[in-house]
């Protein structure tokens, strides 16, 4: 097995294009675990952390561009990012433990393509996109289009993600992410839910996005659930309608982590709780 | 012997909290665990494991693996040509290397030793096993049915009535009185059925060993175990060699909790080494530990208890069905003996069933069999308390066993501490603290026998007046500190002057495994006796120096002195002074003691838990937890507290989320710590331990074992707390969120 540390995007795409068995390494908190467990045997590991810009968080068109190698703990220490997208940051900060936080990345979480990735629903609800570099140049793709099914992404041979972009947002906007795990940490989401809201001046919801994780083969965008909130002030009736829509949208499986009925129920519960939290934040109140 | 018995005294060392002698090594990484040993020319051994729950092994072709460069030995069952004499050891052999059938997912069918791990891995892939997959059964109730797939033919004991599957190996019954008459006298009867899932001890350190077998027929084995004498005896029987030719050294141990009271890798590593002519190291991965070491039994239990309006039990009945994996284990019987042990019962019938299934063979896990039984019995007690609108402590005090009570399993109790734990719980602020929204409080009692057994200790007085103590029991909970303290106490010298080591099997006589909460009791007793033996010799030396009779010398505060004015007037001779001239007064001085220790005092505990239930998700938070347990005498209170806290935490995991999950194909679905959910630190409140000291009459210092009782009450304690918080009785463990939410919604 070869280990490569390219210094440029072009060098990295060239290495990836040349070797079908090559794998990208960001924080390594998924890759190295799977390597040690004997689940994967890559012919080469391409570490992208040395590439310029890969570890930067920068403002762009009023939004934020986050490099593919930015560890989640760094996001948690970034005041601007936290103020704009508290839900995205809290999703990223739920991953693993302090040790894992120092290494893991949102892009790694996304490209691992696990249905339960904690940072993914809030990125989807935020309408985030990723920039992909490949042998043919770069392209921008909505986050929701990256995972295809468990373990599979839409990236083509030779391609890798260089950054995530969180768009500029109007005033009175905020978001929240909640997950359910049987323990308090070091666990994998049984259900995850992100809600992203923009409010009118009168406090009614102008725009809403609801995204569910761990209840389908890939992250879900649930417009029916979001629609339940439009025009409301997240009163009980609206939240109930939201919960019902979220429960209906979830298509989970029975497995060692939870039953279908449980995951559907909890999808609704978390949607309700996350919406309340996002609403409180958007109103500028302390949550 | 009168001196075995407890005599009240004022302690100087016992009861204090000195630093543990193995502490620095452990926090600096210097301590050597099972996988930390290497030898020149060492090979790496790996096991090939069955992917099937139940399959006939039609053939194994190892030729391609053997032909690989770097592969030095491949073994299968065909290499084990000795048939051990007793059934228990034959079962162990069948468990460590499958014979005609693979009996569970993860069962070893072959093993290789190679020059590197990657070569060994490649060699495993090159072994061709032809399986005929057979129907399997993993559930205890299913396995008992007459048409269930059968694991072993002809192993059923006569105690089993007709109409059951051959998988039901034994039935045992305990109790006394007339239950029918007793139930007739009852004003209220509650009858419930319960289930518990299999759990794993969850020790941090995976099994590991380094085996060396020479061409001269002599062997050395380094391994992580709770009992290296057991390892020696078992491995030598399996390999067909004299026990004296195999020397086993116990490594430091990163937890065991009963799971390291048998062998898994060791006989295989020895056989590989024998065949390869080189040392072989084997270490299990976590996945292997979960699939193929010794978890607990899963159970299905029926309990029926009748009471008068006043809360006095008139009759009790229990059926304890335990599946212990692929081989016989006595777990149902232990459950049947322990479940009702806290109570004074006129009429009792308690029946234990031992059932085999296509799962790894259960090993001991802290008070094996008792926690599940207590869960069932104490849940019914709680329901009766609710029905009768009685305080759960009062209800238990009304029925609590005490000195003179005929126990559920037969013998009559000497002085015991159950009532003391209940009274302490009643008086503790926790019992009367207010509860918040969605919170509930649970209480339960638990019992464990404790054990003594074969024990040898040697205590050497060194020329400089320091003391070297050798014992033969791996130190799994701070016992070197406890032994050091008891030796120092008895000799009257400082703690720092004694060093205790765990000797290998060639150094001391037979020692039972570190199990049954026996070590601080039994090895402590032998240590005190060995110290007294050494003191006798030192008194003789002083007497000779002074020219008086040994009888006229007494031992006070670490020195010999004339016993009274009539004995003569000599200044005391300290241990150090006697040691310095030992060579001239008769030679080196050492005390030793060998005993099959009896008189291990039984132990009781009472636990209180407050839990908060999220009614929308079924999530449970443990808000507060207090443990009350009788320790007899807490030699080193830190470690006693640690045992009480550790038992509670493991019980909380068992109650809430830990569980062996099998797929339809009978394979284990959660062989890792992501999905086998042990509580993490942030899941738990600080567990408050309250130590009670009701001296054990059978130990010179009053010591009782404390290691196991702590895991007996928590399952029931949590179930009672959660049931009260959620307003629905939970009869199935674990009370994982999906299960609890479903129960809440159904109620
Ligand atoms: C102890 C522990 C706890 C964990 N807890 C959680 C948790 O709570 N929630 C959760 O969601 N996850 C959890 N994880 C999983 C993991 O930490 C996360 O998925 C993490 O975000 C992965 O990021 P990484 O940078 O370490 O990815 P890596 O391991 O470096 O990569 C992951 C995958 O993505 C690919 N990849 C990485 N970067 C790129 C890129 N730029 N372009 C294309 N492909 C790329 C890699 O080839 C690999 O297949 C945990 C892991 C561990 C070990």
Q: Which residues on adjacent β-strands are paired with residue B60?
A: B129
CA distance A269 to chain B (A): 7
Pairwise CB contact (< 8 Å): B680 & A184: yes
Contacts of A269 in chain B (CB under 8 A): 616-617
Pairwise CB contact (< 8 Å): B616 & A258: no
A272 to chain B: nearest residue by CA?
B616
pLDDT digits (tens, 9 = 90+) for B23-42: 999 999 999 999 999 999 99
Q: Which atom of ligand 1 is nearest to the CA of A71?
A: 25
Residues of chain A with CATH 3.30.465.10: 2-48+57-166
Sign of CA dihedral A197, A201, A206, A207: negative
Chain centre to alpha carbon of residue B82:
30
Q: Which residues on adjacent β-strands are paired with residue B112?
A: B46, B74
Count of C-beta atoms within a 10 Å radius of residue B734: 24
- The pLDDT of residue B382 is above 70: yes
Count of C-beta atoms within a 10 Å radius of residue B663: 14
The CATH label, of 3.30.465.10, 3.90.870.10, 3.40.720.10, 3.30.70.260, for the domain at A2-48+57-166 is 3.30.465.10
- Quickly tell me which residue has 């012919």 as its tokens: A43
Contacts of B675 in chain A (CB under 8 A): 188, 256-257
- The pLDDT of residue B3 is above 50: no
| ipTM for the complex shown | 0.95
Of A29, A165, A211, the residue with max ligand 1 atoms within 8 A of its CB, to mutate for a pocket test, comes to: A29
Query: What's the A31 CA to ligand 1 centre distance in angstroms?
Result: 7
Average pLDDT, chain A: 96
pLDDT digits (tens, 9 = 90+) for A180-210: 999 999 999 999 999 999 999 999 999 999 9
Residues of chain A contacting B, Cβ within 8 Å: 37-38, 180, 182-188, 190, 255-259, 261-262, 265-266, 269
- The pLDDT of residue B1 is above 60: no
E strand segments, B406-463: 439-448, 453-461
Query: What's the B671 CA to ligand 1 centre distance in angstroms?
Result: 21
Pairwise CB contact (< 8 Å): A190 & B737: yes
Pairwise CB contact (< 8 Å): B682 & A185: yes
How many angstroms separate the CA atoms of B198 and B662, rounded? 10
B669 to chain A: nearest residue by CA?
A256
pLDDT digits (tens, 9 = 90+) for B190-215: 999 999 999 999 999 999 999 999 99
Taking each continuous run of H as one helix and of E as one strand, the counts in chain A are 11, 14
pLDDT at site A38: 83
E strand segments, B655-734: 687-692
Structure tokens at B54: 């139940």
| B472 pLDDT tier (thresholds 50, 70, 90) | very high
pLDDT digits (tens, 9 = 90+) for B149-184: 999 999 999 999 999 999 999 999 999 999 999 999
Q: What percent of chain A has pLDDT over 70?
A: 99
Residues of chain B contacting A, Cβ within 8 Å: 121, 287, 616-619, 656-657, 661, 669-670, 674-675, 677, 679-680, 682-683, 736-738, 741-742, 745
Taking Cα atoms as reference points, which of B138, B148, B450, B195 lies closest to residue B319? B195
pLDDT at site B2: 39
CA distance B669 to chain A (A): 7
Chain centre to alpha carbon of residue A184:
20
pLDDT digits (tens, 9 = 90+) for B681-730: 999 999 999 999 999 999 999 999 999 999 999 999 999 999 999 999 99
Please, is A236 exposed, middle or buried when counting C-beta atoms within 10 Å of its C-beta (0-12, 13-18, 19+)? exposed
- Report the predicted TM-score, pTM, of the whole model to 2 decimal places: 0.96
Mean pLDDT of B403-414: 96
Q: Which residues on adjacent β-strands are paired with residue A57?
A: A66
pLDDT at site B495: 98
Interface with chain A: mutation pick from B611, B738, B741, B746, highest number of A CBs within 10 Å? B738
Mean pLDDT of B397-421: 96
Cis amide leading into B540 (omega within 30): no
- The pLDDT of residue A287 is above 80: no
- The pLDDT of residue A230 is above 50: yes
- Ligand 1-lining residues (CB < 6 angstroms): A 23-31, 33, 48, 68, 94-96, 100, 103-105, 107-109, 111-112, 117-118, 155, 160-161, 186
Query: What's the A49 CA to ligand 1 centre distance in angstroms?
Result: 14
Pairwise CB contact (< 8 Å): B741 & A262: yes
Pairwise CB contact (< 8 Å): B619 & A258: no
How many angstroms separate the CA atoms of B118 and A132, rounded? 36
Query: What's the B657 CA to ligand 1 centre distance in angstroms?
Result: 25
- The pLDDT of residue A286 is above 70: no
Q: What percent of chain B has pLDDT over 70?
A: 99
Tell the residue nearest (CA) to atom 21 of ligand 1. Answer: A109
Residues of chain A with CATH 3.30.390.50: 173-282
How many angstroms separate the CA atoms of A71 and A83, rounded? 18
Of A96, A132, A192, the residue with max ligand 1 atoms within 8 A of its CB, to mutate for a pocket test, comes to: A96
pLDDT at site A285: 74
Contacts of A180 in chain B (CB under 8 A): 617, 619, 737
Q: Which atom of ligand 1 is nearest to the CA of A23?
A: 47
Pairwise CB contact (< 8 Å): B737 & A269: no
pLDDT digits (tens, 9 = 90+) for B88-140: 999 999 999 999 999 999 999 999 999 999 999 999 999 999 999 999 999 99
pLDDT at site B25: 95
Of A104, A156, A177, the residue with max ligand 1 atoms within 8 A of its CB, to mutate for a pocket test, comes to: A104
- For residue A18, what are the contacts with CB-CB under 8 A and spacing of at least 6? none
pLDDT digits (tens, 9 = 90+) for A72-114: 999 999 999 999 999 999 999 999 999 999 999 999 999 999 9
Mean pLDDT of B606-620: 98
Topology of the domain comprising A173-282: Enolase-like; domain 1 (3.30.390)
Angle between helices B266-276 and B87-96 (to 10 degrees): 70
How many angstroms separate the CA atoms of A1 and A12, rounded? 16
- The pLDDT of residue B661 is above 90: yes
Pairwise CB contact (< 8 Å): B680 & A257: no
| A146 pLDDT tier (thresholds 50, 70, 90) | very high
Pairwise CB contact (< 8 Å): A180 & B669: no
- The pLDDT of residue B668 is above 70: yes
Structural domains of chain B, with CATH: 23-31+452-596 (3.30.365.10), 34-134+206-253+260-292 (3.90.1170.50), 298-450+601-746 (3.30.365.10)
Average pLDDT, chain B: 97
- The pLDDT of residue A34 is above 70: yes
pLDDT at site B572: 97
- How many residue contacts between A and B have a Cβ separation below 8 Å? 54
Interface with chain B: mutation pick from A29, A41, A182, highest number of B CBs within 10 Å? A182
CA distance A142 to chain B (A): 30
B660 to chain A: nearest residue by CA?
A256
């Amino acid at each position: 097995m070869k280990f490569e540390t390219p210094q440029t995007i072009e060098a990295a795409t060239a290495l990836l294009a040349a070797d079908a068995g090559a794998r990208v390494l960001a924080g390594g908190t998924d890759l190295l675990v799977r390597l040690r467990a004997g689940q994967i045997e890559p012919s080469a590991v391409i570490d992208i952390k040395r590439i310029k810009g890969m570890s930067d968080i920068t403002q762009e068109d009023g939004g934020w561009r986050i490099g593919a190698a930015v560890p989640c703990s760094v996001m948690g220490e970034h005041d601007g990012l936290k103020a704009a997208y508290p839900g995205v940051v809290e999703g990223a900060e739920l991953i693993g433990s302090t040790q894992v936080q120092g290494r893991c990345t949102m892009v790694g979480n996304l490209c691992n393509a696990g249905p339960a990735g904690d940072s993914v629903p809030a990125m989807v609800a935020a309408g985030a996109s990723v920039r992909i570099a490949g042998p043919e140049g770069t392209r921008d793709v909505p986050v929701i289009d990256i995972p295809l099914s468990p373990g599979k992404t839409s990236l083509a041979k030779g391609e890798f993600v260089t950054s995530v972009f969180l768009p500029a947002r109007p005033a009175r906007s905020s978001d929240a992410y909640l997950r359910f795990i049987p323990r308090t940490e070091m666990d994998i989401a049984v259900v995850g839910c992100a809600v992203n809201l923009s409010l009118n001046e009168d406090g009614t919801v102008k725009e809403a996005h609801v995204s569910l994780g761990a209840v389908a083969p890939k992250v879900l965008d649930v417009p029916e659930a979001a629609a339940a909130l439009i025009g409301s002030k997240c009163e009980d009736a609206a939240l109930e309608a939201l919960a019902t829509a979220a429960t209906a949208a979830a298509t989970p499986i029975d497995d060692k982590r939870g039953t279908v009925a449980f995951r559907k129920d909890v999808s609704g519960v978390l949607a309700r709780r996350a919406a309340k939290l996002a609403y409180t934040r958007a109103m500028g109140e302390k949550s | 012997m009168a001196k075995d018995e407890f005599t009240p005294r004022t302690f100087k060392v016992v009861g204090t909290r000195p630093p543990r002698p193995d502490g620095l090594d452990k926090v600096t990484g210097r301590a050597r665990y099972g996988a930390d040993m290497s030898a020149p020319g060492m090979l790496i051994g790996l096991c090939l494991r069955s992917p099937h729950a139940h399959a006939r092994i039609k053939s194994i072709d190892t030729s391609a693996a053997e032909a690989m460069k770097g592969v030095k030995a491949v073994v299968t069952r065909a290499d084990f040509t000795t048939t051990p004499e007793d059934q228990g050891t034959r079962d162990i052999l069948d468990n460590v290397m499958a014979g005609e059938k693979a009996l569970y997912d993860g069962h070893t069918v072959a093993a290789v030793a190679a020059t590197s791990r990657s070569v060994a891995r490649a060699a495993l892939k090159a072994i061709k096993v032809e399986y005929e997959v057979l129907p399997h059964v993993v559930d205890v109730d299913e396995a008992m049915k007459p048409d269930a797939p059968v694991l072993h033919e002809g192993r059923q004991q006569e105690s089993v009535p007709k109409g059951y599957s051959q998988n039901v190996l034994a039935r045992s019954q305990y109790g006394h009185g007339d239950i029918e008459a007793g139930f007739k006298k009852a004003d209220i009867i509650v009858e419930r059925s319960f289930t518990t899932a299999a759990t794993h001890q969850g020790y941090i350190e995976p099994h590991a060993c380094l085996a060396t077998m020479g061409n001269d027929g002599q062997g050395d084995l380094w391994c992580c175990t709770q009992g290296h004498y057991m390892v020696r005896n078992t491995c030598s029987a399996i390999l067909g060699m004299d026990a004296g030719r195999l020397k086993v050294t116990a490594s430091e141990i990163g937890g065991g909790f009963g799971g390291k009271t048998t062998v898994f890798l060791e006989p295989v590593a020895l056989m590989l080494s024998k065949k390869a002519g080189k040392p072989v190291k084997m270490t299990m991965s976590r996945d292997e530990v979960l699939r193929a070491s010794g978890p607990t039994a899963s159970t299905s239990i029926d309990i029926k208890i009748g009471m008068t309006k006043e809360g006095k039990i008139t009759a009790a009945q229990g059926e304890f069905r335990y599946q212990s994996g692929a081989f016989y284990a006595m777990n149902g019987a232990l459950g049947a003996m322990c479940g009702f042990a806290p109570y004074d019962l006129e009429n009792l019938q308690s029946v234990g069933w031992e059932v085999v299934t296509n799962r790894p063979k259960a090993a001991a896990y802290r008070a094996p069999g008792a926690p599940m039984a207590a869960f069932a019995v104490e849940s019914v007690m709680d329901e009766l308390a609710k029905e009768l609108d009685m305080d759960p402590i009062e209800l238990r005090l009304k029925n609590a066993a005490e000195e003179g009570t005929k126990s559920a399993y037969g013998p009559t109790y000497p002085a015991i501490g159950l009532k003391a734990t209940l009274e302490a719980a009643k008086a503790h602020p926790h019992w009367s603290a207010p509860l918040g929204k969605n919170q509930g409080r649970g209480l339960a009692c638990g019992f464990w026998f404790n054990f003594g057994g074969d024990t040898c200790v040697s205590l050497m007085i060194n020329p400089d007046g320091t003391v070297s103590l050798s014992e033969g029991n791996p130190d799994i909970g701070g016992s070197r500190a406890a032994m050091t303290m008891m030796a120092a106490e008895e000799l009257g010298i400082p703690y720092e002057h004694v060093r205790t080591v765990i000797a290998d099997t060639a150094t001391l006589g037979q020692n039972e495994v570190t199990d049954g909460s026996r070590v601080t009791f039994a090895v402590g007793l032998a240590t005190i006796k060995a110290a007294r033996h050494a003191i006798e010799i030192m008194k003789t030396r002083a007497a000779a120096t002074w020219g008086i009779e040994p009888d006229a010398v007494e031992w006070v505060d670490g020195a010999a002195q004339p016993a009274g004015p009539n004995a003569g007037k000599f200044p005391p001779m300290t241990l150090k002074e006697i040691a310095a001239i030992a060579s001239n007064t008769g030679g080196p001085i050492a005390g030793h003691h060998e005993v099959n220790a009896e008189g291990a005092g039984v132990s009781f505990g009472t636990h209180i838990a407050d839990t908060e239930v999220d009614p929308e998700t079924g999530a449970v938070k443990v808000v507060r937890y207090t443990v009350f347990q009788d320790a007899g005498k807490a030699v080193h209170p830190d470690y006693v507290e640690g045992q009480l806290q550790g038992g509670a935490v493991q019980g909380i995991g068992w109650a809430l989320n830990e569980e062996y999950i099998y797929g339809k194909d009978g394979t284990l679905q959660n062989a890792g710590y992501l999905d086998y959910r042990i509580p993490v630190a942030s899941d738990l409140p600080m567990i408050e331990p309250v130590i009670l000291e009701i001296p054990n009459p059978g130990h010179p210092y009053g010591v009782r074992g404390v290691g196991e009782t702590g895991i007996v009450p928590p399952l029931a304690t949590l179930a009672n707390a959660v049931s009260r918080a959620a307003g629905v009785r939970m009869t199935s463990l674990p009370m994982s969120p999906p299960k609890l939410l479903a129960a809440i919604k159904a109620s």
